[in-house]
Amino acid sequence: MTTKTTRPLVRVLRDRDSRLCLSGVVVSGFGTSALWLASGVWVKDLTGSDGLAALCMLALWLPTLAGPLLGTLADRVRRKPLLIGVNVLLATLLLTLVGIDSPGDLWLLYAVLVVYGAAGVVHDAAESALVAGAVDPSLLGDFNGLRMTATEGMKLLAPLAGAGLYAAYGGGSVALLDAATFVLATGLYAALRVREDKPARPTGSRRRRTAEGVRHLWAHPVPRSLVLAGGATMLCAGVNGALVYAVVDGLGHSPAYTGVLYAVQGAGSVATGLLSGPALRRLGARRFAASGIALPAVAVALRAVPSDPVALVCSAAIGVGLPAVLIAALTSVQRETPGALLGRVTATANTLVYTPNVVGLAAGAALVELVSHRPVLVALGVALLMTAAALGQSPVRAERTVSRSSSDANPA
């Protein structure tokens, strides 16, 4: 990597508030990833039911559907105190899970996971808005890339740590670990030196305030197109993810081999996070995202080939390409949204991007029982190529449209 491309990353890492935010992402992300795996295993051990274990993931994702509404909370109060409060709340809630030791106690686990997911929506919206005000706009792509690198890096390490801790000491120990990470993240966010104006008193009904975020996103072509492309990509990614066990079976390996494929994919995502800032500046958001989508499009289709080397290369390619549209969409939303709306718009964008992933997982789970996975993979590759082509069309026209938008008069 040249000095020219690394210099912005160094600027981000040298900035005290940026380092603290990234450290908070790493710490809390470690605990979340550990609990994500351990909660399903915990339920499986207590009940023997795959369906009840799968409900843990549903409980975590379900609040995403209420993203536009939950995001309004991030616009009504100062973001730094809100982040601190959310972390304290989660640390306290997780302590209630320590005593779970029978199937009759699982209602508490599910309830905590739902609140956990809802708090995560608010946390992400507040963090995005806080970062947009604390980080130089020219470095937002670099910061978001580093954030992706940190998140994916934790996904490589934390599930293994959580599984080992669970095997040695039980689910309560993983809950304590996650609670400790939120306590540490609370201290990191408290150390931020950001200055925030008191938000204006809200006007209009709650429904109207919620709809403002949706209307703003829909009125701006660049972030809108990136968010919609991100949703379409994550829908295909969800179906592809549900087919991974069929791919592994076609290779003649045990289900445990999926861990190898996911590790390779995660390594690819870590690399993209480091390079996303320079790529965004060189290509622009739309071309960067379209190029990223095209890469997993080819890789997903080639997964139909029953070959170990091909499967490993395809996993790496998916890991490299998939984060591009997510980073581009978030960066575009931060740049094109006034600060007073950023919580709502971020939460709305996250709902539109990540909810299709859950739908895709469910659809893929149904399809794999009905048809061979190979034609489905090829069809997914075609769908992703079409998404990339649609996103790459007429980028200049879209940029000119957004340059005349009202957000320029009130930048984030």
pLDDT of 233-262, one tens digit each?
999 998 888 788 788 888 887 766 776 787
- What is the reported pLDDT for 54? 67
- Please tell me the number of Cα atoms within 13 Å of 367 on its side-chain side: 24
Dihedrals phi, psi of 333, to nearest 5 degrees: -60, -45
Chain centre to alpha carbon of residue 187: 23
Asked whether the predicted pLDDT for residue 265 surpasses 80, the reply is: yes
Lowest mean pLDDT among 140-144, 350-354, 402-406: 402-406
Average pLDDT score, the chain = 82
Contact predicate 237/322, CB 8 Å: yes
Tokens of 202: 């809200």
- pLDDT above 60: residue 1: no
Question: Helices 308-336 and 258-283, interaxial angle, to 10°?
Answer: 40
pLDDT recorded at residue 263: 79
Comparison of pLDDT for 162 and 376, the residue scoring more: 376
For residues 337-361, average pLDDT = 84
Q: pLDDT (tens digit, 9 = 90+) per residue, 292-343?
A: 999 999 999 999 999 999 999 999 999 899 899 999 998 898 888 887 788 8
The answer to whether residues 150 and 22 touch, using CB atoms and an 8 Å cutoff, is: yes
Alpha carbon 34 to its chain's center? 16
Question: What pLDDT shows up at residue 411?
Answer: 28
Residue 377: the pLDDT is 92
Confidence of residue 204 (pLDDT cuts 50, 70, 90): low
Contact (Cβ atoms closer than 8 angstroms) between residue 291 and residue 370: no
**C-alpha torsion angle, residues 231, 234, 238, 243 (rounded to 10):** 130
Query: In percent, how much of the chain has pLDDT > 90?
Result: 25
Average pLDDT over residues 149-175: 81
Residue scoring higher pLDDT (135 or 323): 323
Angle between helices 50-61 and 16-47 (to 10 degrees): 150
Over residues 38-57, mean pLDDT: 78
Coarse DSSP helix, strand, coil percentages of the chain, rounded to the nearest 5 percent? 85, 0, 15
Q: What pLDDT shows up at residue 235?
A: 92
Largest pairwise CA distance in the chain:
61
Please give the average per-residue pLDDT across 357-372, as a whole number.
Answer: 80
pTM for the complete prediction?
0.75
The pLDDT assigned to 228 comes to 93
Q: Are 328 and 280 in contact (CB under 8 A)?
A: yes
* Between residues 404 and 74, the one the model is more confident about: 74
pLDDT value at residue 201: 65
Which amino acid is present at 411?
P
Q: 63-107 pLDDT, tens per residue?
A: 888 888 888 887 788 888 999 999 999 999 999 998 888 888 889
Determine the angle formed by the axes of helices 3-14 and 258-283, rounding to 10 degrees. Answer: 100
The CB density around residue 181, as the number of other CB atoms within 10 Å, is 26
Q: Give the pLDDT confidence score for residue 402 in this predicted structure.
A: 34
Q: Are 363 and 254 in contact (CB under 8 A)?
A: no
pLDDT over 70 percentage in the chain = 90
Q: In this predicted structure, what is the pLDDT of residue 140?
A: 81
Q: In which band, very low, low, confident or very high, does the pLDDT at 58 lie, cut at 50, 70 and 90?
A: confident
Report which of residues 165 and 58 the model is more confident about: 165
User: Among residues 318, 313, 271, which one has the least CA distance to residue 293?
Assistant: 318
Neighbouring CB atoms inside 10 A of 298's CB total 15
Q: How many CB atoms lie within 10 A of CB 205?
A: 9
**Contact criterion met (CB below 8 Å) for 178 and 34:** yes
Q: Coil, helix or strand for 193?
A: coil
